[in-house]
Chain A
Amino acid sequence: MTEQTTAVRFEHVDKWFGQLHVLQDINLEVARGERIVICGPSGSGKSTLIRCCNGLEPYQRGRIVVNGIELTENRRTVEQVRRQVGMVFQQFNLFPHLTVLENCTLAPIWVRKMPRAEAEELAMEYLRRVRIPDKAHSYPGQLSGGQQQRVAIARALCMQPRIMLFDEPTSALDPEMISEVLDAMVELAESGMTMLCVTHEMGFAREVADRIVFMDGGRIVEQSPTAQFFAAPQTERARQFLGQILAR
């Protein structure tokens, strides 16, 4: 793959939390428009991996290149990367003191210097896409978890990112709200967005992902095309994991 078609590239990345070696020799290449689901048991480093993609976590060894920009300690380049990478968190992390609309327009206005009217128009468009335009003037505290997470997706999209990161977006939701969030994500995937999702929703993975990255103990144990991963996982560890998670 050339730089033009590569969205994210990890080259021999290592990361430690103190003594703990949380990412070990990570090599991963994600093409533009590709949809990756990262799964694995808890503590396997999958959240850390995804948080490295927009510089929320520093890494100690190797190279991470996002959209042709190498992520370094340099604040400029980090901010440059973040402008092109949207992120959705497990706990939504909406700004509680701002309305839904203000949450969505904050970054376009301040980071991209977009006129307020234009930013609001853009925000309404994305709020419509996640089917929540009627809540534009509510505060996050007045919304259900599923609604909040959809707003969080709209907020990230308002920066018109090239890549979207999802860090267990449905894990904090009540079961009946999971599907509304997954639907929004499926729709996004169909629009051709490059996506990296950490999730335990195997149904979603099967429907949307081009490739599954399976992690364990800070390593990428296996990465294979979705159908192949579910039909015939190559490693014993992945087989075990799938057995457990699909048995539920």
Chain B
Amino acid sequence: MRVPERTAAVLAWARRNLFSSPLNALLTLLGLWLLWLVVPPLLQWLWLQADFVGSSREDCRGDGACWVFVRVHLDQFLYGFYPPAERWRVNLGIALLLVPALPLLIPPLRRFRRVWLLALLAYPPVAWWLFHGGLGLSVVDTGLWGGLFLTLVIAATGMAAALPLGLLLALGRRSRLPVVRATATVFIEFWRGVPLITVLFMASVMLPLFLPSGLSLDKLLRALIGVALFAGAYMAEVIRGGLQGVPAGQYEAAQALGLSYWQQMRLVIVPQALRMVVPGIVNVFIALFKETSLVLIIGLFDLLGVVQAAVTNPDWLGFVLEGYVFAAAVFWAFCYGMSRISRRLERRPDMKAQEQQEMA
């Protein structure tokens, strides 16, 4: 008789793990009670009593969430005020990001290093051309960019700039040359000491005062520069931690082989340092991704900004919860995705080599 056996096994497991002592039993019951309090109403609201179809607020009849609100505004949430006829450019631009990412996903492609590097370097100008226009494409002013698209642009630019900038700053801070060291230190401490909000305010309000009249920098561009420098300073400290974690013997072995300073860094030290601080780097990336929503205060509408604008739309008052839950879900999905990628990177065999050697 199979079934009773299995039941018995489940009971035994529960007894061992959930009811091993009176206190454990009490905690288990308390936990179950809390779940019973929270989960059913949540499900009711999110799904069972929610409305999914329709095109106006009249279709919101149930007691649960009205996802019609999100559905109606979805394009706006994704693209902001980007002209609908040009949105294919955004889609294409984001899809193109897969090209430089291919070698990361398919390891055998890593051999074609030059092609990959070229794709990586070519991506930003190509993306800028697609998104902004010019040269045959109609120009879409950056003021119209918004929603998840803008969030991705700011976050991706910040990340792409933070890594090399942080690396240079970290190396600078460990340099033997006093001037280089002092410059890097002052830069890092300045940007780390200032809140991002202040950086964005300065970028949008103060910077134009210092620029010669007639020369005006795009508002988005100013924000991007601010975010990049800010993230770069944080990244520098994370990477410096990694550089300090590389054993002195590695520096000596690299020197003894006759490698020059930059060869030592590029081939031996930095690859190890970066591998060591993958979790820290991803942490900065995740923080940066979420902090992009601060650009709202200088009048740029990222995902959260667009959602906020939609919930105050007089035709759709009363759907605050739906809007924020949606925004939170999107942010969470991206951040969780990054943390998964980080975990996968850490598990790669050449990434783990260091630990094994220490154990040996």
Contacts and interface: CB of A to CB of B under 8 A. Distances in A.
A96 B258 contact: no
B106 interface: no
A106 B257 contact: yes
B103 to A, nearest CB: 17
Contacts of B258: 79, 82-83, 107, 111, 159
B138 interface: no
Nearest to B352: A141
B272 A97 contact: yes
A6 B349 CA distance: 46
A82 B257 contact: yes
A54 B259 CA distance: 13
A246 to B, nearest CB: 30
Contacts of A141: 352-357, 359-360
Interface string A131-156: 00000000111111100100000011
Given A97-B271, A139-B349, A56 B255 contact: yes
B257 to A, nearest CB: 4
Chain B binding surface, main DSSP class: helix
A140 B353 contact: yes
A139 B353 contact: yes
Interface stretch (B167-175, B215-223, B231-239, B245-253): B245-253
Contacts of B351: 97
B257 A111 contact: yes
Contacts of A106: 257, 259, 267-268
Interface string A81-95: 011011101010111
Contacts of B253: 87, 89, 93-95
Given A110-B263, A140-B353, A86 B256 contact: yes
A172 B259 CA distance: 25
Contacts of B257: 82, 106-107, 111, 155-156, 159
Interface residues of A, number: 32
A107 B254 CA distance: 9
Contacts of A155: 257
B249 A93 contact: yes
B259 A139 contact: no
Nearest to B355: A141
Interface in B323-360: 349-357, 359-360
B256 A54 contact: yes
B273 to A, nearest CB: 10
A244 to B, nearest CB: 28
A79 B250 contact: no
Contacts of A156: 256-257
Interface size band for B: 20 to 34
A15 B257 CA distance: 23
Contacts of A111: 257-259, 263
For B255, B350, B353, which residue has the most chain A Cβ atoms within 10 angstroms?
Answer: B353
B176 to A, nearest CB: 11
Contacts of B255: 54-56, 82
B354 A97 contact: yes
B348 to A, nearest CB: 10
A54 B275 CA distance: 29
B260 interface: yes
A78 B13 CA distance: 67
Contacts of A139: 349-350, 353, 356
Contacts of B359: 141
Nearest to B274: A97
Nearest to B264: A110
Contacts of A143: 360
B272 A96 contact: yes
A158 B144 CA distance: 59
B350 A97 contact: yes
Contacts of B353: 96-97, 139-141
A95 B263 CA distance: 14
A79 B359 CA distance: 33
A82 B253 CA distance: 11
A110 B272 contact: no
A91 B251 CA distance: 13
Given A56-B255, A56-B256, A91 B249 contact: yes
Contacts of A55: 255
27 contacts: A54-B255, A56-B252, A79-B258, A82-B257, A87-B256, A89-B253, A91-B247, A96-B353, A97-B271, A97-B272, A97-B354, A106-B257, A107-B257, A107-B258, A110-B259, A110-B263, A111-B257, A111-B258, A139-B349, A139-B353, A141-B353, A141-B356, A142-B356, A143-B360, A144-B360, A148-B360, A159-B257
Given A93-B250, A94-B357, A141-B356, 11 more contacts: A54-B255, A54-B256, A83-B258, A87-B256, A91-B249, A93-B247, A93-B253, A97-B354, A98-B350, A139-B353, A156-B256
- A-B pairs, top 3 by smallest CB distance, nearest first, are A141-B356, A93-B253, A82-B258
